[in-house]
Chains A and B, each alone.
Chain A
Amino acid sequence: MNLLALEPERLLGAVRALLAAKGIASPAEIAERIAATDAASPAQGARMVAIAWTDPEFRALMLADGTRAAESLAIPMRGAPPLGVLENTPDLHHLVVCTLCSCYPRAVLGYPPFWYKSAAYRARAVRDPRGLIAEWGTTLPPATKIRVVDSTADYRWMVLPLRPAGTENWPADRLATLVRETDMIGVTLVATPGDHALNSFASPRPQA
C-alpha cells in the first residue's frame, strides 16, 4: 500500500500534527518556510543587484555581507546558508558552479535552472569556462580574467554583474527588469537595453 498515493492529504495532516506535538516544527514555522520558498525567485536577486547599482551604501553592505543585505530588503534568509556576493568588474568576471552537487543561492535566486545541476555544466565550468559561456553567446574581452567560483561548502554565491551602458538615469525597479538568473550565475552579461529584447529568456538555453 502506498500511503502517499492513497491519502496524501491525510498523511500530510498526520505528519504536521506529529511535528507540532513533538515540538519539532509548529504550524507557524511550516507556514513561514512555505512562504519563504514561494517568495524565492531570481526577481529577489535582481532587486538586490539593481539597488546595488544605484545605492553605494547598499552595494558595500551586499559585498561585505550578502545575508544582511538580503534581510534588509525583507528577503527571508533564516535557515539559509550565508550568502556571498561576487563583484564583477571590467577586469574580472565571476562564474559560479557547484562541481560536487548543486549548491545554489536559493533564497535569492529560487530553484537552480536544470543545466546548473548537469554533470556537463559542472565539469566544464572548471575546465573550460570560456568555451562554456561562449555557448550562451558570452564573450569576454581577452583582458578580462575569469574567476570560477566552485561552491563546495557552507556558503552560497551570487554574482553582482556589471551595470550595462545606456541605463544611467534608470531607477532601481526598472534596472531590476534587465537582470536574469544567468547574469547572477555568470554565464551571461546583463544585456544593454537595446539588445535585451533579442535575448530576453528567463533562463536561456545554451546554443547548440
Chain B
Amino acid sequence: MITPGTTVRVRDDWPETRGKVHIRTPHYLRGRTGRVVRHLGNFPNPEELAFARPARTLPLYHVLFDQPPLWEEGSPGDEVLVEIYEPWLMLEQDGIADAPPSRSRSLSDRVIQTSGAGVPANEFAVGVPSGQVRWGAPGCPDSASGHHALP
C-alpha cells in the first residue's frame, strides 16, 4: 500500500501501441510525477474486466498533479486529481528520480488523432475496427448506456 504523501511517477508506458487494450490511465499523465493523496479502496482491474478476463483486485489511489506542467500553460497552483491503479505508479526506489518523462507532445497528439473524429481518447478506441468502438466499459456504466452518440 502506498502511503498518502508519497511522491509517485506514472509509468511512461503506452500499451495501446502494442495491441488491444482498455486503459484507465489518461495519456496526459504518462511519465508525470504526482503525490498520492489517499487510498480510495480496492477494485477489480478494469483492464482485465473489459475483456471478461479474471480480474485481480487492485489498490486505487487519488493522485494529485500540478496542472501547469502538464501542458506548459495554465495558472500556477492549479491541480489535477486523478484515480490511478497501483500497477501504473512507480515509487522512488523504482527509479523515479532518474527517469524523466520520455513522452513528447507529438506522441500524445498523434495518439489522439488516430482515435477518429468525435471519438474520445485513445483509451477506448485503440485496436478496435472503426465503427465498432467498445463503449461498454465495466465500471463506467455511463458509457454502457448508449449515451455516447457523439456526432
Partner-B contacts on A (CB < 8 A)? 81-82, 84, 98-104, 106, 111-112, 117-119, 122, 126-130, 142, 145-155
Contact = CB atoms under 8 A, between A and B. Distances in A.
B25 A101 contact: no
Given A111-B147, A112-B142, A152 B73 contact: no
Interface string B110-151: 000000001111011000000000010101111100011010
The contact size tier of chain B is: 35 or more
B31 interface: no
Contacts of B2: none
Interface string B11-53: 0000000000000111010000000000011010010000000
13 contacts: A82-B40, A99-B121, A100-B26, A101-B148, A102-B142, A122-B121, A130-B78, A145-B78, A146-B67, A148-B79, A150-B26, A150-B80, A153-B84
Nearest to A105: B142
Interface string B77-96: 11111111100000000000
B83 A146 contact: no
B40 A154 contact: yes
Contact of A127 (B71, B118, B139, B142): B71
Interface of A: prevailing SS: loop
A152 B83 CA distance: 6
A82 B141 CA distance: 13
Nearest to B46: A153
A99 B26 contact: yes
Best-buried of B73, B77, B135 by chain A (most CB within 10 Å): B77
A118 B120 CA distance: 8
B75 interface: yes
Given A146-B67, A150-B81, A154-B43, A126 B139 contact: no
Contacts of A118: 150
- Interface-centre pick from A102, A111, A142 (highest chain B CB count, 10 A): A102
Contact of A101 (B60, B67, B82, B135): B135
Given A102-B143, A102-B148, A153-B60, 6 more contacts: A99-B28, A122-B121, A145-B77, A150-B80, A150-B81, A155-B40
B4 interface: no
Contact of B78 (A146, A149, A153, A155): A146
A126 B80 contact: yes
A207 B71 CA distance: 25
Given A117-B148, A129-B67, A148 B80 contact: yes
B74 interface: yes
A126 B73 CA distance: 11
A163 B147 CA distance: 32
**Residue in A98, A103, A104, A128 whose Cβ sees the most chain B Cβ within 10 Å:** A103
